[in-house]
Amino acid sequence: MNLFRSEEHVGRWLEQNCYESGATISAGKLSELAHAWWSARLAPDWRPRTRAQNQATLDRLGLIGSFWQLP
């Protein structure tokens, strides 16, 4: 994971390092994802989610497309 100040910063970094663009999300969206994924993890009754439940979380957050499709 890399953090950038702006889309322009991403573009410069990609060009300088000869990389192709992958998935990018804002810090706010990353925070939403972390909260949705891990917020109940320490609850005594926590159980691992199914693949379908995890995919539903990504979909609900608008993280769609091939990068966000779980295997």
Residues in contact with 57: Cβ distance below 8 Å, sequence separation at least 6, in sequence order? 33, 36, 37, 49
Is the pLDDT reported for residue 68 higher than 90?
yes
Report yes or no on 15 lying in a domain. no
pLDDT value for 47: 95
Domain limits for position 70: 25-71
Report yes or no on 35 lying in a domain. yes
Report yes or no on 9 lying in a domain. no
Output DSSP code: residue 36.
Answer: H
Report yes or no on 1 lying in a domain. no
Q: What is the mean pLDDT of residues 67-71?
A: 96
Q: Give per-residue pLDDT as tens, 6-61.
A: 999 999 999 999 999 889 999 999 999 999 999 999 999 999 999 999 999 999 99
